[in-house]
Structure 1
Amino acid sequence: MARIYISLGSNIEPEQHLQAGLTSLRACFGPLRLSSMYESEAVGFSGTNFLNMVASAETDLNIAAVVAQFKQIEQNHGRLAGAKKFSPRTLDLDLLLYDHVVCQTPVVLPRAEIVNNAFVLWPLAELAPELIHPVVDKSYARLWQEYDKDSQRLWPVTFEWPPGLTF
């Protein structure tokens, strides 16, 4: 079983789409571990704020199959195939880590956004503080500690999941 870390984000009806995305991820991968929810300003374009978080799961699927599953979940929840990278979205799922794999195909792992974007690094550091980034050889807690926190605005938000909803 491989341990995967998934970045989730939305700025179109984000509460609804993140709940639906998490429910779909749980149906595919089983129990999830979740970071806190964070709100951030749009990065790379002008738009409404995003809600972001990181989830972790275990899987027997290979990397290509995991990524294909994410694309299907995104499309099932209103994401348009071929939409511009820097644009509003109903649901964005990105594979951040697949165990300690470093690769360029079928996707780049570990994902570059980990060290570049606060909305990925902070929730990942919360969920896996002692895990070591396989390229820069530092823990995610240390990477977050060293991150220039003035470069991107991000703040935790209280988020109450509906009663009975478990991940």
Structure 2
Amino acid sequence: MVYLGIGSNIMPRENIRLSLKKLTNYIDIKNISPIFLTPPLGGMPQPDFYNCVVEGKLRFDISPISFKFDVLRKIEDELGRKRGLDKYAPREIDIDILIYENLILNSRECVIPSPEIFERDFVFAGLLYLNSELIVFPEQQPLISLAHRYSLHLLNIDCEYTRLIWKEFLYEHRTSSTINSRIVD
């Protein structure tokens, strides 16, 4: 199983939907977290980001480095992503590997599990929503036992857009109360 973080603040609704559509060529999407609206980092005035976490099963054998550079970067480029020196700049799409099967990797090109899991509330919340019993290195405890460290109740969820994404990419239907209760509890 792989877990990917997806974010956008330039035409975010369209770009997240298109990125998920393109990802279906490479992974079987098993689940998608709610779509979180998060303020940008770095102080530059710009729109909020739409962020989610996707759980999927790879359709073929591929190394995480190849998956990152040959698949995810290709999708980002196709959707107009421009890379510059400012890592907090607005972006059409950002797709990051959070977890890649049971792999632990610390190379110049890629760090897995991603440190963002424990650095950004919305990434942690997305993973928690998808699999609360998941144990992520280096913590060695289920995510649910670490939830008290985060201000999950302050996260803003776009319930309407989440429902649209779930309807298009998942086969089960969920309600707004399901969306909110899974995160706040």
Q: TM-score, normalised by structure 1?
A: 0.88
Of 125, 128, 138, which residue of structure 2 is paired with 1:125? 128
Aligned residues: 163
- Inter-CA distance 14–40: structure 2 relative to 1 (3 Å threshold): same
- Inter-CA distance 117–162: structure 2 relative to 1 (3 Å threshold): closer
Structure-to-structure mapping, 1:42-121, within 5 angstroms:
42-46=40-44, 47-59=46-58, 60-68=61-69, 69-82=71-84, 84-105=86-107, 106-121=109-124
Unaligned segments of structure 1, at least 5 residues: none
- Inter-CA distance 164–140: structure 2 relative to 1 (3 Å threshold): closer
Structure 1 residue identity aligned to 2:142: S
| Deviation string, structure 1 residues 14-33 (Cα, Å, up to 9, x no partner) | 00000000001112213341
Partner of 1:6: 4
Partner of 1:143: 146
Please give the alpha-carbon distance, in whole angstroms, between the structure 2 residues aligned to 1:134 and 1:80.
31
| Deviation string, structure 1 residues 55-89 (Cα, Å, up to 9, x no partner) | 01112221112101111100100101345211100
Please give the alpha-carbon distance, in whole angstroms, between the structure 2 residues aligned to 1:112 and 1:57.
20
**Percent identity between the two aligned chains:** 25
Structure 2 residue identity aligned to 1:79: R
Please give the alpha-carbon distance, in whole angstroms, between the structure 2 residues aligned to 1:81 and 1:71.
10
Query: 1:43 deviation in Å?
Result: 1.9
Partner of 1:35: 33
Checking the alignment, whether the CA contact within 8 Å between 1:5 and 1:56 is kept in structure 2 is yes
Query: 1:133 deviation in Å?
Result: 1.0
Checking the alignment, whether the CA contact within 8 Å between 1:45 and 1:87 is kept in structure 2 is no
Please give the alpha-carbon distance, in whole angstroms, between the structure 2 residues aligned to 1:162 and 1:156.
13
Partner of 2:174: none
The structure that is helix-richer by fraction is 2
Unaligned segments of structure 2, at least 5 residues: 171-185
Structure 2 residue identity aligned to 1:114: I
Q: Which of 1 and 2 has higher RCO (CA within 8 Å, sep 6+)?
A: 1
| Deviation string, structure 1 residues 121-164 (Cα, Å, up to 9, x no partner) | 111110111000121112222223322x29xx631111142797
Please give the alpha-carbon distance, in whole angstroms, between the structure 2 residues aligned to 1:25 and 1:78.
16
| RMSD between superposed Cα atoms in Å | 2.2
